[in-house]
Amino acid sequence: MKSKVLAPAAAALLISLSAAAQAHNIPEGAAPLEKSEQCAACHSEIYKEWQESFHAKSSVHEDSAHKAMHQAFSKFLTDQGKKANYHCAACHAPMADNLKALMSGEAAPDSGNWTQTDGVGCTFCHRIEAVDKGKNFDQYTLGKDGAYHTSRPANPKAPHPTAQSPLFADGKVCMGCHSQYINPHEVPVCVMTEEGIGNCVTCHMPPTEGAPAVGSTAKIHASHRVLGGHDLDMLQKAAALDLKIEGGGKERAVVVTVKNITEHTFPSTNPMRMAFVKVRTKDKNGAVIWENFKEDPLKEDKQAVFFKAFKAGDKVGVPSWAAEGLAFDTRLKVGETRSLSYPIYSPEISEIEAELIYLLFPPKAIDTFGIPKDGVNDKRYSVAKKSVKVR
């Protein structure tokens, strides 16, 4: 049965009400969360890695793109006559001591409150005991006794209580925030549980040289930089590019293939991420004779774009909170290889090159939502590049 579409005002109200009821489960009387910098004395290398991570920069106070989107969402709510809220705090500022108030709109983000600016801090992640499945998004249950959980056996010599948890060994610990988000129109925005396989930790927290703590005899630890789409090395491990010339005469064509070699969709479930293939043919002097698009690949060569877009009514390209349905999804599934074919006519062509480019945010989204062009948000990542000479 087709679900009933909610009016924007009703959708906004639902967001406010559902968010207020879905903060993480922290038992009454639980040991308080602590600043991540307090972990640095014993876990100095891990702390430095965490500082570089987007876990540390996850809140509106540290991530300029997230701040811009939060402001746009807040305006959407107030334009509907509703109270603005920071419901994204559940994952972007989960340590907040006023999390429910932030999510309901009773409180606004406060840059002077370290429990918000610490983002996804050490003591939050390592206090997780369970991932709780929700209808629209998942959440966590944190331990009451203050024990820090890892994949390793409990260490009785540690200066604080420790415990071993399978959630950290199989990567399920990530799924409280990275599993799903279903908007009030029942449109899946992020659904890693359906789009991904395997263990998140294997790729995103790879083994790194160095002991995990002072006094430890271990030679390696799991990197806490939690690398992803902001890191070129990670992107270059995510997809492979190839090209070759097929046929002859008037039937000659260049065929570009892109293969997803991650264990989730490429790009991943974040609805803003985009990748596309740029193809150019050049003459013997290096001048461009032809290219598959000049400005906007979505308009000029949609087959070369890997992207997920939402719609509301007849409008395509709406933000996730306003989405009434999926407009299209051309991302590569796990293990998928896609081929793009372009005819080659000109005898002047001497070389053909193809490049796979990744964007954190499409240019249109950057302009629409005022996402700062700071060299990170608007960076074009060259994931792979291949060229072939034409004889």
By mean pLDDT, which of 3-12, 49-58, 97-106, 172-181 is the weakest?
A: 3-12
Confidence of residue 22 (pLDDT cuts 50, 70, 90): low
Evaluate if residue 7 carries a pLDDT over 90: no
What residues contact residue 89 under an 8 Å CB cut-off, 6+ apart? 59, 96, 99, 102, 103, 109, 116
Identify the pLDDT of residue 345: 86
Distance of CA 206 to the CA centre of its chain: 18
Evaluate if residue 14 carries a pLDDT over 90: no
Alpha carbons 46 and 126: distance in angstroms, whole number: 13
By mean pLDDT, which of 229-233, 260-264, 343-347, 359-363 is the weakest?
A: 343-347
Alpha carbons 33 and 315: distance in angstroms, whole number: 44
- Mean pLDDT (the chain) is 92
Alpha carbons 326 and 319: distance in angstroms, whole number: 11
Domain residue extents for the chain: 8-222, 232-389
Identify the pLDDT of residue 41: 96
Of 21 and 387, the structure prediction assigns the larger pLDDT to 387
Evaluate if residue 209 carries a pLDDT over 90: yes
Confidence of residue 367 (pLDDT cuts 50, 70, 90): very high
CATH of domain 232-389: 2.60.40.2360
Question: Tens digits of per-residue pLDDT, 219-260?
Answer: 999 999 999 999 999 999 999 999 999 988 778 999 999 999
Of 362, 328, 380, the C-alpha closest to 65 is 362
Question: Tens digits of per-residue pLDDT, 319-335?
Answer: 999 999 999 999 999 99
Alpha carbons 190 and 222: distance in angstroms, whole number: 26
3-state DSSP of the chain = CCCCCCCHHHHHHHHHHHHHCCCCECCCCCCCCCCHHHHCCCCHHHHHHHHHCCCCCCCCCCCHHHHHHHHHHHHHHHHCCCCCCCCCHHHHCCCCCCHHHHHHCCCCCCCCCHHHHCCCCHHHHCCEEEEECCCCECEEEECCCCCEEECCCCCCCCCCCEEECHHHHCCHHHHHHHCEEECCCCCEEEEHHHHCCCCHHHHHCCEEECCCCCCCCCCEEECCCCCCCCCHHHHHCCEEEEEEEECCHHHCEEEEEEEECCCCCECCCCCCCEEEEEEEEECCCCCEEEECCCCCHHHHCHHHEECEEEEECCEECCCHHHCCEEEEECCECCCCEEEEEEECCCCCCCEEEEEEEEECCCHHHHHHHCCCCCCCCCCEEEEEEEEEECC
Question: Tens digits of per-residue pLDDT, 247-300?
Answer: 887 789 999 999 999 999 999 988 899 999 999 999 999 999 999 999 999 999
Structure tokens at 310: 């939402």
* pTM score, whole prediction: 0.91
